[in-house]
Structure 1
Amino acid sequence: MSEFHVRAVAEGEQRACLEVLEQALHAKPISDEAWAKMAPTWPAAGKFAAFDGDGTPVGIASSFEMELTVPGGRKLATAGVDGVAVRADWTRRGILTTMMAAQLEDFAARGVPLAALHASEGVIYGRFGYGAATFCKGVFVERPRAQVRDGVGRDGEVRFVTPAEAVRRVSSLYKRFEGTRPGSVSRPEQWWPGFFDRLVTGNDGYRVAVHSGPDGDDGFVVYRTIDARDRKAPERGAILEIRELEAATPRAWAGLWRFLLSVDLVSAIAGRGRPMDEPIAELLTDPRAVNTTEVIDDLWVRLVDVLAALRARTYGTAEPVVLEVSDKQLPDNNGRYAVGTSGVERTTAEPELRLDVSTLSSLYLGHGFFSDLALSGRVEVLEAGAAERADALFHTARAPWCGTFF
């Protein structure tokens, strides 16, 4: 069997490691021009790779530093895992498990309480303690059936900005609302060139519009139009596809939707990754014009330091509950935690609920219910009524949502 070793990536090795990731994602090889633009956004720091006997990378596990908003509004230091892959001819040899272990141990050693990622497959990352913590929906809004109610979204103005202006202005605008709900994340300086800037300055036809209210710019939308005409329906309008829509206030959000619904020669508006509780139908005279096309997992979270993470968020009103948590990868997290409105402590009291760190991670931001997961055996109920108390403590009125891809 071929041998490999896992270590931190050194300066100068990033491009070869990125090529492993791109190949696994079935992307085109990276050109010199593309790498020149991307290199500043892909430093060696935060990356572990597997190397074969010749020193060639055959696996990569990458991360960067960001902050994640937890219930109560606190922004908690988080490792954003932005690329995990094993070369196709080296799979099924334990490389992924070894890299993920090294990465988690590094997070723990550095005192990072949380890690988060977007999962390419739903069956991989639960093995390493991650749980699907936010969900999102796809929407399809029919035009011209979708008519906005009188007076809705008229409190500001919307204007187009050029790609160059979007690159200059939108990153600072995003900071106005990056922590408005659980699950939202900060976008570090290195994030923008690799994701937003490349998108809006590329050749895919994306446009950027900014909403301005009484206090200045307070929201933006990134979208493109896709020609939906064919020989059978030459008169059919385009599909307006939302890539991103963010707003600092409900009024700015409504104003952006009014603008989108006013664009001429459009037969429908489609958007993926929208918040589960986004009330688009409430804007319209005919709520049936809005269709939910899918519900999918969004951000996967991993509690690296269970005690620190639990202490960072706030809780609802209920009597305390004692959780017994198991963590195969990071055994320092094993133990019992008394969780209540007044705080969280380790305890030797008898457990009332038993669960692994993956399950706790999926419930951490307020999505889902302990009592529901007890039905599938993911939560073991040891005391009657404990699951309902945990539901009241952990669940949030506003659905957690990330809205940022990385």
Structure 2
Amino acid sequence: MSDYVVRQITDAESRETFDLLVRSLHGNPPSDERWAKVSDSWAADGRTGAFHDGEAIGIASSFATTLTVPGGATVPMGAVDGVGVRADWTRRGVLTAMMDRQLHDFVRRGHVVAALHASEALIYGRFGYGVATRMATLQVKQPAPLRESVDLPGRVRLLATDEAIATIPSLYQRIDTHRPGMIARPEPWWPIAFNWHLHPDGGNHRVAVHTGPNGDDGFAVFHVVPQNSYLDPERGAALEVHELHAATPEALAGLWRFLLSVDLIEVVNARGRPVDDPVGLLLVDPRRAQTIGVDDELWLRLIDVPAALAARTYGSREPVVLEVNDRMLPDNRGRYRVSSNGVERTEDEADLQLDVDTLAMLYLGAWEAGPLALSGRIAGASAETLARVDALFRTGTQPWTGTHF
């Protein structure tokens, strides 16, 4: 018998568990003033804690949102926004117990998928999460003028802090859940993940909005980091792009033009961009823009495999029968016939076998089946079968999330 219990936290335990999460990530717990500003975003609902003698020793937090899947539909999602175990309780099964309870809570709540951003890549595969989107880190060295042929009919303006807090949530909702992998941002997300960055203690970020022929259609969040020193007083600063979202290619180009035209900047850095961001193609000298890293972004977990598979669309190719294994949620186990017409359970012979984390890697179209088979994640498939899987699951646009939580 374990000497701790795992259960949903109460409202009275919200601050204790938030402090525990921050400490487990080696941060400093918030002041009373800071807590007053974010406490409404840390309600007890959706948060699983581990307790020993009434004291919090672990937390697995989540909030409800939706995920855009290939074809444009959205599915209910549990966004896992914080997991931590107190340092003196690690390696004792606390994390596994919390993750197991959380997954079954997602089933009860009707979430079709769950997702997280992994602080450590070795942890979450064993709970059925797979890397479903990737992100690029871009660096653009100045000067980096745009090609004269780039059509830029809009304009960009800077917003004051209060105006940004009031207007950007509705702008994001209007422009930016069209790409597979993107998520809705519920109201509690904004105070912690957006508003805080606009204040001096949170980084003093600025917000620029692009306005096109049909009104506001994109925004960027950025801040400037000095790089000069006593020995190098004239060195230009680095402009760090925290967010960049646009409804149209023209809005994206217009925001890039603005960011690359800020005075006294030596380099523009942008982490968390789509792997197909076109900034290099916009430039007179495309070598000024470099992709200096590609990392995992969204880790996806299919909670209801039949519902998830049925929600997305598929390419035109002969059907394939997948045999799915899920050790934590056994109702997902079985064979699924995937075709351009949809998905159904079947007793037909399987064309391949895979675990639920590998299915999550295929689900949004970020990975091809061949490399997954080469790595041992897909078994029993011929080369022809793998080609059919690729044709069915491939998307025209690389999936990307663009929202940290």
Alignment TM-score, normalising by the size of structure 2 = 0.98
Q: Residue in 2 aligned with 1:28?
A: 28
Q: What is the one-letter code of the residue matched to 1:348?
A: E
1:263, distance to aligned residue in structure 2 (A):
1.1
Contact 2:176 2:245 in 1 (8 A): no
Contact 2:78 2:111 in 1 (8 A): yes
Contact 1:153 1:257 in 2 (8 A): no
Q: Residue in 1 aligned with 2:393?
A: 394
1:353, distance to aligned residue in structure 2 (A):
1.0
User: 1:12-41, CA deviations, whole angstroms, 9 ceiling, x for partnerless residues?
Assistant: 111111111011011112221111111100
**Matched length:** 404
Asked if 1:191 is matched to 2:199, the reply is no
Unmatched runs of 5 consecutive residues or more in structure 2 = none
Q: Residue in 1 aligned with 2:287?
A: 288
User: 1:271-308, CA deviations, whole angstroms, 9 ceiling, x for partnerless residues?
Assistant: 10000001111101111111111110000100000000
Q: Residue in 2 aligned with 1:40?
A: 40
1:393, distance to aligned residue in structure 2 (A):
0.6
Unmatched runs of 5 consecutive residues or more in structure 1 = none
Q: What is the one-letter code of the residue matched to 2:293?
A: E
1:382, distance to aligned residue in structure 2 (A):
3.7
1:397, distance to aligned residue in structure 2 (A):
1.7
SS in 2 for 1:176: helix
Q: Give the Cα–Cα distance (whole angstroms) in 2 for the partners of residues 12 and 89 of structure 1.
A: 23
Asked if 1:94 is matched to 2:118, the reply is no
Q: Give the Cα–Cα distance (whole angstroms) in 2 for the partners of residues 29 and 365 of structure 1.
A: 36
* Identity within the alignment, %: 53
1:231, distance to aligned residue in structure 2 (A):
4.0
Contact 2:274 2:398 in 1 (8 A): yes
Q: Residue in 1 aligned with 2:169?
A: 171
Contact 1:218 1:249 in 2 (8 A): yes
Matched ranges for 1:92-241 at <5 A: 92-144=91-143, 146-203=144-201, 204-241=203-240
1:383, distance to aligned residue in structure 2 (A):
4.2
Contact 1:164 1:201 in 2 (8 A): no
1:2, distance to aligned residue in structure 2 (A):
6.8
SS in 2 for 1:107: helix
User: 1:172-198, CA deviations, whole angstroms, 9 ceiling, x for partnerless residues?
Assistant: 000122312000000001111111111
Q: Give the Cα–Cα distance (whole angstroms) in 1 for the partners of residues 403 and 42 of structure 2.
A: 17
Alignment TM-score, normalising by the size of structure 1 = 0.97
User: 1:140-194, CA deviations, whole angstroms, 9 ceiling, x for partnerless residues?
Assistant: 10101x2201142521110111000000100000012231200000000111111
Q: What is the one-letter code of the residue matched to 1:362?
A: M
Q: Give the Cα–Cα distance (whole angstroms) in 2 for the partners of residues 382 and 159 of structure 1.
A: 53
Q: Give the Cα–Cα distance (whole angstroms) in 2 for the partners of residues 9 and 387 of structure 1.
A: 45
Q: Give the Cα–Cα distance (whole angstroms) in 1 for the partners of residues 284 and 186 of structure 2.
A: 40
Q: Give the Cα–Cα distance (whole angstroms) in 2 for the partners of residues 205 and 10 of structure 1.
A: 33
SS in 1 for 2:70: coil
Q: Residue in 2 aligned with 1:334?
A: 333
Matched ranges for 1:244-255 at <5 A: 244-255=243-254
Q: What is the one-letter code of the residue matched to 1:45?
A: D
Q: What is the one-letter code of the residue matched to 1:301?
A: L
Q: Residue in 1 aligned with 2:312?
A: 313
Q: Residue in 1 aligned with 2:15?
A: 15
1:55, distance to aligned residue in structure 2 (A):
0.5
Contact 1:381 1:387 in 2 (8 A): no
